[in-house]
Structure 1
């Protein structure tokens, strides 16, 4: 199977038993008690840690990894009047759920040719099991302090998936942790979401915040910078990842204008155009509202005066109060006559109290010294 992995489009493959994950369960119980869950996870902790609850009489789990790139070739330039946002690298190229789904199907076909009695169930991210826990036990990589699975050749730039089977496949040995005393990822986390080695408070993680749909507090918005989906900071700073840029999987290669899109056109983008532009990316799974809200945040953090009219239009016309309130915050940072006029109107006349309050706060901010730009990445 190891020898066949490359021909199947798989960069790493490993096997572990289908025994439960008791240590993971202990961590998950504590994680829940501390309020660190994102809410996107499987809520049943037994299902997350007992393969037999998802698959009858499991004998082994095959874990796979597919590498993805970490750098944009010839990235488009972000400049005044044409500011750009950024998608995390995991959202570049085709949706990894589809990419790994096809790899797991190929693997199943390969196994079935050699073991016709094969039964199998594949999972990629949205399954009950923890992809990272399976990958760690199967020897794909070690669990880094940034909660990512890492190995010394691909770093953490890899998608993970697994297949529960009824075959008694021999297990592989886990890899030794190579993070040592390094805490660069913990120190670099913009919001302090990495509360300790291998401990993540998902509620504070910028990746989670970009995927949420509600209003965000000002501190979070400033720290988001121009991120539209996800956050790669804890991976970018990691010494293990330095210089690694895997580009041999064609589906993972990004369209630079999708990975780093112009912000202003996003504000008026309808559902059809959004699906045409981002529908192939994993960034589309939450719909356009979070992306549009995050585009407003990015323009506010750039303090891009050329965008004031577009942002003011959102404040005046968008039916979604979350976007109007976020537009008010952004105008408070952009400043200028257009911003002030739109904010004064909204503070007086918007139908939603939350928007009126946001506009009033932004108007008050105009009387203060101009804020610094947020954590934007040109």
Structure 2
């Protein structure tokens, strides 16, 4: 088998099926990465969403029998929205990050990887694969970096020369011995704009992220959001784009190659107040196709409550008081108590006092009492 010729055929075919960049890497263990991951674990900087076994994250041979190479792919997604909506008093809106615009990227990339697998099988029937997108054991960015897709930026994103960091990543371990590509030279230089702009200081230093402080992670949690982060959230409902939008390598970058990635403005910048009363069925119908819906409606609703406090939206007080008085979920009741106190005023104080007399959850009572004290 002429694997050099096959590699060229795969590259040509990848363009036909809408893969914007493809690279090939060795399947050797990621030895240097292991040390970094162990350090992250020691510092408790992990999010908890990662594969627990670090050895599996750095050694393809532990998850695939006799790997010979890895194929990495990248698809560019839009950074600007056509016909964007603007909120106003009484109609405040939240925002989903760019990586959650359009159809769930896991579905899109799996489609491309499935087509790539079928093409290779048509050429090499004995070929074997293990494809993954985001939720696999391997670290997508490490594979993409080794395969020459881009360099690992100080913002902990892969930055491509062509598309900036606005790319989705996927990879495929194979038993075929493709010649590896050359990694891209790191071009961040002395720039620290992403580190300086991070709202919560989650970027500890270039290339090191404390995931537990990252807004992208915090928006996906289901418990009470720590108070120190609530006022940093702004109107974000899911994810955070700050470290990408300030990156000089992303200046002027905006590609609209894939129709399924185009955002529905009403879905990615939804009105906040209606979110508070949305049923599970309505949530799935409205947001179910987006990657930002994977944790369900509870985190989105909690974040919407925090966003209303960010806007000091007095018109939302009746909705927030309704959540405080009637929602069965303590996290939403307690977060509503905090938001009500931030909006302030005598109606807010009266609502908190009334709720305190009926509340039975300890954490919610604490939120209510802190709110009452702040309004004295």
1:267-301 per-position Cα deviation (integer Å, ceiling 9, x unaligned): 01110000001100001111110000000000011
SS in 2 for 1:228: strand
Distance 1:70 1:122 in 2: 26
CA distance in 2, matches of 1:335, 1:232: 30
TM-score normalised per structure 1: 0.96
Shift of 1:119: 0.7
1:271-282 correspondence to structure 2 within 5 Å? 271-282=280-291
State the distance in 2 between where 1:257 and 1:290 align. Answer: 19
5+ long unaligned stretches in structure 1: 368-378
- Distance (whole Å) between structure 2 residues aligned to residue 7 and residue 293 of structure 1: 42
Instruction: State the Cα distance separating 1:346 from its structure 2 match.
Output: 1.8
Counterpart for residue 154 of structure 2: 145
- The CA RMSD over aligned residues, in Å, is 0.8
Which whole-Å CA distance do the structure 2 matches of 1:98 and 1:108 have between them? Answer: 15
What's 1:296 paired with? 305
Does residue 187 in structure 1 map to residue 193 in structure 2? no
CA shift for structure 1 position 74: 1.4
Alignment of 1:235 onto 2:244 = yes
Question: What TM-score, normalized to structure 2?
Answer: 0.96
Alignment match, 1:168: 177
Give aligned pairs, total: 367
- Stretches of 4+ aligned residues off by more than 4 angstroms: none
Distance 1:310 1:52 in 2: 54
Counterpart check, 1:224 vs 2:211: no
CA distance in 2: counterparts of 1:32 and 1:163, whole angstroms: 26
User: How far apart are the structure 2 equivalents of 1:77 and 1:70?
Assistant: 17
* Pair 1:347-2:361 in alignment: no
Show the counterpart of 1:13.
Answer: 22
Distance between the aligned counterparts of 1:112 and 1:337, measured in 2?
70
Asked whether 1:357 is paired with 2:346, we answer no
Match of 1:326 among 335, 344, 348: 335
Tell me if 1:254 matches 2:277.
no
Deviation at residue 3 of structure 1 after TM alignment: 2.2
Moved more, 156-165 or 353-362: 353-362
Which residue does the alignment assign to 2:322? 313
Matched-pair contact (CA < 8 Å) for 1:93–1:252: yes
